[in-house]
Structure 1
Amino acid sequence: MASKFQNRLVGTIVLVALGVIVLPGLLDGQKKHYQDEFAAIPLVPKPGDRDEPDMMPAATQALPTQP
């Protein structure tokens, strides 16, 4: 026959195991889910869009010889 100590030890282990399994689910509460808003990127550019980047005008001034 098992001793009182063994009975208490087994009972404690069972209660701790149940607490570890059940309590996180109970204490977690409602989860808040946020949906990020992303801008849709078109797969095909619109006919009015320009494909060429803006070019800077050519520099006509000479650089100074001494800084």
Structure 2
Amino acid sequence: MASKFQNRLVGTIIIVTLSVIVLPGVLDGKKKHYKEEFAAIPLVPKPEDPQETDLVPPVTQSLPAQPP
């Protein structure tokens, strides 16, 4: 059977350990919560948006029949 001193020592160690873990969070004051901001990326382009393929003019020249 453990002595009264050992019981008190273990109890004191447990209380000190819990206070070291819990008290800084309680006494820290108001916590700052940071909200991460993500840009909304559309999955499908909207129909009214111009597409990149419209920027390239179409080719109207035909290739010669025989190579030079």
Q: Deviations over 1:27-46 (max 9, x none)?
A: 12243221011111123212
Hey, what does 1:48 align to over in structure 2?
49
After TM superposition, give the deviation of residue 7 of structure 1 in Å: 1.6
1:13 to 2:10 alignment: yes
CA distance in structure 1 between the aligned counterparts of 2:6 and 2:35, rounded to whole angstroms: 47
SS in 1 for 2:45: coil
Structure 1: state its 5+ residue gaps: 56-67
TM-score (norm 2): 0.52
TM-score (norm 1): 0.52
Hey, what does 1:58 align to over in structure 2?
none
Q: Quote the RMSD (CA, aligned, Å).
A: 2.5
1:37 to 2:37 alignment: yes
How many residue pairs align between the two structures? 50
Question: What percentage of residue pairs aligned between the two structures are identical?
Answer: 32
After TM superposition, give the deviation of residue 51 of structure 1 in Å: 4.5
Structure 2: state its 5+ residue gaps: 57-68
Structure 1: 4+ residue segments shifted above 3 A: none
